[in-house]
Structure 1
Amino acid sequence: MRHTRTAACSSALLLATAGLVAAPETAQAAPRTPAVGYVALGDSYSSGVGAGDYLPGRTDCKRSSRAYPSLWAAAHQTAAFAFPACNGARTNDVLTDQLAPLGPRTEMVTLTVGGSDAGFGTVMTTCALGGTTRCLSAVSRARSVMDGTLPRDLDRLYTAIGNRAPAAHVVVLGYPHLYQLKGTCRAGLEDAARAAINNAVDHLDTVIAKRAADHGFTFADVRSAFTGHEICSRIPWLHSVDLLSLTESYHPTAPGQSLGYLPALNRAS
């Protein structure tokens, strides 16, 4: 999920061997594909927007050392770890820009993707600034995308991942509810709008989980982990709207990554 915005491990190892040329004195093994055991794909929820401590490199991707892929790789001492997940990525961005590290020796792939496709960034901007009626209309349009083009786009991406990394255990992680209803918030969105947003997250997770299952991937549901830690809860693991750092609004904090996403990935891997 880009603003709502926003994918987590595999086992099975397949070694591609190359034949040798005929003459012994000139025999050479073909170059081997570099072993990238764990590849973390996806959008801002995988790159770690909102968690801070961003890594050098493409600053627009906002990849964090506190994001669940970094934490998992460190905990498992993963020597071959690729982290192409990037803020704002849609399914086609992952398909065209992030799959290069995948190969027959990849053991695990994680990703979150779909929130940006559904336009959750626009939804949250509309809801924060436009009032309840406009918010509900924006949510309805997002749900239409989830039922329209998103399943097809997920199929294309998941098929490409399976083809490029046939031995990998692929874990697709979902998105949490953003709001605790009747919570501590004294201003902002009405509960009707907050409920509609949460229901849209449920719908998005359902679509993603169905497509993941049809491709033999594991879906990791994070909603229960975030229960009691949504925006408007006493101890939120999600940023509310932040006018000083709009990009980080509606994204998991560092505890949201380490206590919400990482345990869900551990259970699924």
Structure 2
Amino acid sequence: MMFGRRDPLAAASVEAAPERRRRIALVAAALLAALALVLGASLAAPADSAHAAVPMAKPVKPGKPGGGNGGGSGGGTTELAYAAVGDSFASGVGAGSYLDTTCYRSTKSYPKLLDADADKALVAFSACSGSDTADVIAQAASVPSTAKLITVTVGGNDVGFADVMQNCFVLPNSSCATHIANGAAAVESDAFAASITDVITTLRTRAPAAKIVVTGYPLLFWENASGVNPKYTWADEVNDETVALNDRIQSVAQSGGAVFVDVEGVFAGHGIGSSSPWINDWRWLSQTNSFHPNAAGYVAYANAIRAVPLS
């Protein structure tokens, strides 16, 4: 111990503390910036019109009658021309194997899985990560008038999906409840119902003979017998609001003559925190995939859509 003199090592440590704090703040800011960039790209960013569609020209698939040529006719005589529009849940975010890094369309998405069916030919795949209803209306321009089947998943970004994920699960803070309440109010609003109606009307105008299939969203979080997710405090609240969102979309879609596919049941027991999750949990090193279905989840989506009669 030294009296009357300042320990040079201690002094250096004290003098370096502000610099360390500055570096920590810079690292935190960089992480937040990266988070905002990824959430913006995969959860809430508007669709980039320059990447609004993926060319559908493709080789003949073994065992598929007539193959597929990507044209409006849908290939062989037994194939229905199929178009897929929507947000990140329609583009396949979470499954990996991406065709692009703007919209994150995946080869394992439910539209691509349905394209492998003998009776469907994917002639337009304009679904894009971050899209809201206005973006999907713009995507409709890629849908050929000869389409006989159109699938669409949309609505989550209109009610603040990214805000809830960021403030309740990624970096939980006191604004979480406000974001959930804002989303719930948006779901019940006349404006939200009108936007879903506009999507269906636009698609029907674009392809009058098409069957329009609107899918809902899975409940992201597994809950135990007490209705609690062991990891996330706000999981049950978000699940409840997802049910309300699905109910609202279903009501509007069916009123507009579309078919609604509810995936809550098929995903039951496979949310985040379950022993066999079909939803990706948050990962800093895999941010794009977080809070979206994995490959098994998109198989479940495709199977639920396959249950809809095409005639």
* TM-score of the pair, normalised by structure 1: 0.81
Matches within 5 A, 1:18-29: none
Alpha-carbon distance in structure 2 between the residues aligned to 1:60 and 1:108: 25
Alpha-carbon distance in structure 2 between the residues aligned to 1:132 and 1:263: 37
Partner of 1:261: 301
Partner of 1:197: 238
The answer as to 2:143 corresponding to 1:143 is: no
Q: 1:3: how far off?
A: 4.0
Alpha-carbon distance in structure 2 between the residues aligned to 1:238 and 1:125: 16
Matches within 5 A, 1:1-269: 3=43, 34-35=72-73, 37-55=81-99, 58-76=100-118, 78-96=120-138, 98-129=139-170, 131=172, 133-148=174-189, 149-182=191-224, 186-187=230-231, 189-190=232-233, 193-258=234-299, 260-269=300-309
The one-letter code matched in structure 1 to 2:73 is A
Q: Is the 8 A contact 2:281 2:291 kept in 1?
A: yes
The one-letter code matched in structure 2 to 1:66 is K
* TM-score of the pair, normalised by structure 2: 0.71
Structure of higher RCO (CA pairs closer than 8 Å, 6+ residues apart): 1
Q: Is the 8 A contact 1:54 1:62 kept in 2?
A: yes
Q: 1:136: how far off?
A: 2.2
Name structure 1 gaps, 5 residues minimum.
6-32
Q: 1:155: how far off?
A: 1.3
Q: 1:133: how far off?
A: 4.9
RMSD: 2.3
Alpha-carbon distance in structure 1 between the residues aligned to 2:122 and 2:229: 43
Alpha-carbon distance in structure 2 between the residues aligned to 1:133 and 1:181: 23
Alpha-carbon distance in structure 2 between the residues aligned to 1:186 and 1:213: 36
**Structure 1 pair 80/224, CA: closer, same or farther in 2 (3 Å)?**
closer
Q: Which moved more, 1:175-184 or 1:139-148?
A: 175-184
The one-letter code matched in structure 2 to 1:251 is H
Number of equivalent positions: 235
The one-letter code matched in structure 1 to 2:98 is Y
Alpha-carbon distance in structure 2 between the residues aligned to 1:124 and 1:79: 35
- What is the percent sequence identity of the aligned residues? 34
The one-letter code matched in structure 1 to 2:238 is I
The SS at the match of 1:163 is helix
Q: 1:138: how far off?
A: 1.2
Who wins on radius of gyration, i.e. which is larger?
Answer: 2
Alpha-carbon distance in structure 2 between the residues aligned to 1:134 and 1:196: 14
Q: Is the 8 A contact 1:3 1:248 kept in 2?
A: no
CA offsets, 1:64-98, max 9 Å, x none? 111111001112263452111001111001112x1
Alpha-carbon distance in structure 2 between the residues aligned to 1:199 and 1:140: 12
Name structure 2 gaps, 5 residues minimum.
1-38, 46-70, 75-80
**Structure 1 pair 52/155, CA: closer, same or farther in 2 (3 Å)?**
same
The one-letter code matched in structure 2 to 1:179 is F
**Structure 1 pair 39/223, CA: closer, same or farther in 2 (3 Å)?**
same
